[in-house]
Structure 1
Amino acid sequence: MDWDKLRIFHAVADAGSLTHAGDYLHLSQSAVSRQIRALEDSLNTTLFHRHARGLILTEQGELLFETTTSMKKRIEAATARIHDSEEEVFGELRVTTTNGFGAMWLAPRLAKLYEKYPDLKIDLMLEERVLDLPMREADVAIRMKEPSQADLIRKRLMAIQMRLYASPEYIEANGMPESIEDMKDHRLICQNPQSAQVRAGMKLNEELLDHTHKTLTVNNYFGVLQAVASNLGIGVLPNYIIDGNPDIIRVLPDVESVEVPVFLAYPEELRQSKRVSAFRDFIQEEILEHRRSLRALDDT
């Protein structure tokens, strides 16, 4: 089977359009179309349903696309390992983690990593879905539970907890609750039950919702934080977002979730990757610095 035709087929299937695939491949639409027809002739099958809105894979096309997707990931893995044989840290590193941790803890710290490794390109994929590392959907993952997939190197980074926070202005205007029963006099701001969240946070939210009828639910931590900062109520947030933030204060210090472990994981085949090693060391250094900052605040 012609590898070049398979490459063109994959681009068309991925784009759903001959034109878009041609733009990506720097080929004319007619050239792409000829290659697809030739591939269909060689396989004696139809790979696409053609209609005015674009192209849809046939059942046979779906089977071939699964194969070319796997091939593409393996080629990318091989390319990465070849690049990692070089002395310098460079190239793309695909990092996946949750929306909250990625946007509010990791992303603000990446400037230090780029300062040290300016040729490193980070593709930060923020989503609650667990990506398949062995299938190379990402190179490195930071997850709020220990990964269960085989053939992964995993390291526990830290533990987080869900706690209650409010702005000083809100507390001054509404008073500081002394017990969980006092939450009936306050608006609770938390993630809504339908949003993806760690189980420990969901259990704490359920407990708190039993003590108040005034609520504001949001589908992500950033929205909860903004509502808290806007003096709308008392919010349930992970401590990694708030610790060390003088504009937000902790409420009811005896009320918190159980600890949630945070793990870094990457495929065994990337054990020798200089990009992965650089990122792993950076994360560990940032966590140590974060802990030192918190201890310094406790001592003041």
Structure 2
Amino acid sequence: MIDWNDLRYFLAVARDGSTSGAARALGVNQSTVSRRIAALEEELGLSLFEKSRYGYRLIESGNELKERAIATEAAVAAFCRAAALHDEALQGVLRVTTAEGIAYGLLSPLLDEFHQLYPRMRVDLMLEDRFADLHQGQADVAVRAGRPSDSSLICRKLTDAGWAGYASRSYVARKGLPQALPDLNGHRLIAFDGAMARIEAARWLHNVAPEAEIVGRSNTILGHLMAIKSGFGIGMLPVHIGDPEPDLARVIDPLPELMNEFWLLTHPDLKETPKVRAFFDFMSANIKRYHDLLHGRTRVTGA
């Protein structure tokens, strides 16, 4: 009998094509992933991957077993969800996944209040660029931006949230404020990179200021914030991140076309569990206190 836990390592490597990527996804060391793959292959008495300096590629035997491993993963996740239905106590761990742009400056105070209300519960907050799979049991609840595309999940809209343009006060002192959107073409801009370059705020800024000088790029929200605070140029941020920063001036007000939505999501099997119900209800009730901040009503342009 193999160690069932080794199937997690097998699937992580099969999906990513490398032990380094699998290690990041699983939150372990790369050497641990390599060791567990080797142990699984030894236990099975066959090779699953073709290994090279370019990564790990599934061979025929690995491909045939991958689908069965996925089915096992789904069965284990379903087993855990069924067990959770019998947990009537508001205690233990609740795994919540979200992106750093939602968590920063918003979830921390809310989670602190949640812990005070439910001291026997512990929220494990997972900040991830990728979407943790709720069907595979990688998290219990997700807080995500944008309207959900998976209709099979239980979804509840939390709030709308705006984006605005910001620059450091030192940059404004040197370059001044743009008086109209076309004036951005004469300013230095900080752009997004990687997957972040596909978000609506990034595309909008490129469209309204195609001739502007791009002086830096960042593939994360917090990297973007640091670049703007350093005085490099003007960049876009969620208003709940940009407005509270005393060293930043808002140079572009929130626009209706850049309003985003925050949603709570969970698997249908978990919607009636006490912990998930408590978290959904708490977040829905208490996010209302942050509506002014999320809509950009807490300060004015150039303040």
Q: What TM-score does the superposition give when structure 1 sets the normalisation length?
A: 0.73
Larger Rg: 1
**Residues 182 and 208 of structure 2 are in contact (CA less than 8 Å); yes or no, is this contact kept in structure 1?**
no
CA displacement 1:34-78 (0-9 Å, x = unmatched): 9825xx5xxxxx35469899x986533443344234324432443
**Residues 151 and 268 of structure 1 are in contact (CA less than 8 Å); yes or no, is this contact kept in structure 2?**
yes
**Residues 47 and 60 of structure 1 are in contact (CA less than 8 Å); yes or no, is this contact kept in structure 2?**
yes
Q: Give the Å deviation of 1:286.
A: 4.1
Determine the structure 2 residue equivalent to 1:7.
4
CA displacement 1:66-107 (0-9 Å, x = unmatched): 423432443244334424433322333333323422345335
Q: Give the Å deviation of 1:15.
A: 8.8
Determine the structure 1 residue equivalent to 2:210.
210
> Which stretch has the larger CA shift, 159-168 or 206-215?
206-215
Q: Give the Å deviation of 1:164.
A: 0.8
**Residues 84 and 270 of structure 2 are in contact (CA less than 8 Å); yes or no, is this contact kept in structure 1?**
no
Determine the structure 1 residue equivalent to 2:192.
191
**Residues 166 and 250 of structure 2 are in contact (CA less than 8 Å); yes or no, is this contact kept in structure 1?**
yes
Q: For 1:292 and 1:254, how far apart are their aligned partners in 2?
A: 12
Q: For 2:32 and 2:297, how far apart are their aligned partners in 1?
A: 54
Q: Give the Å deviation of 1:154.
A: 1.0
Determine the structure 2 residue equivalent to 1:178.
179
> Partner of 2:133: helix, strand, or coil?
coil
User: Kindly tell me: are residues 184 and 61 of structure 1, through their superposed partners in 2, closer, same or farther at Cα, counting changes over 3 Å?
Assistant: closer
Q: For 2:109 and 2:181, how far apart are their aligned partners in 1?
A: 33
Cα RMSD for the two superposed structures: 3.9
Q: For 2:158 and 2:113, how far apart are their aligned partners in 1?
A: 19
Q: Does 1:78 align with 2:79?
A: yes
Q: Where in structure 2 are there 5+ consecutive unaligned residues?
A: 14-18, 20-30
Q: For 1:254 and 1:148, how far apart are their aligned partners in 2?
A: 25
CA displacement 1:273-294 (0-9 Å, x = unmatched): 2222232233324421212667
User: Kindly tell me: are residues 267 and 291 of structure 1, through their superposed partners in 2, closer, same or farther at Cα, counting changes over 3 Å?
Assistant: same
> Which stretch has the larger CA shift, 239-248 or 145-154?
239-248
Q: Give the Å deviation of 1:272.
A: 0.7
**Residues 97 and 142 of structure 1 are in contact (CA less than 8 Å); yes or no, is this contact kept in structure 2?**
yes
**Residues 169 and 247 of structure 2 are in contact (CA less than 8 Å); yes or no, is this contact kept in structure 1?**
yes
The letter of the residue matching 1:122 is D
Determine the structure 1 residue equivalent to 2:230.
230
> Partner of 1:195: helix, strand, or coil?
helix
CA displacement 1:189-235 (0-9 Å, x = unmatched): 2313x433554213312124324225322222212211222222221
Q: What TM-score does the superposition give when structure 2 sets the normalisation length?
A: 0.73
Q: For 1:92 and 1:73, how far apart are their aligned partners in 2?
A: 20
> Which stretch has the larger CA shift, 160-169 or 253-262?
253-262
The letter of the residue matching 1:289 is R
Determine the structure 1 residue equivalent to 2:43.
36
Q: Give the Å deviation of 1:124.
A: 0.8
CA displacement 1:136-159 (0-9 Å, x = unmatched): 343222222222223211111122
Determine the structure 2 residue equivalent to 1:43.
none
The letter of the residue matching 2:236 is V
**Residues 188 and 212 of structure 2 are in contact (CA less than 8 Å); yes or no, is this contact kept in structure 1?**
yes
Determine the structure 1 residue equivalent to 2:219.
219
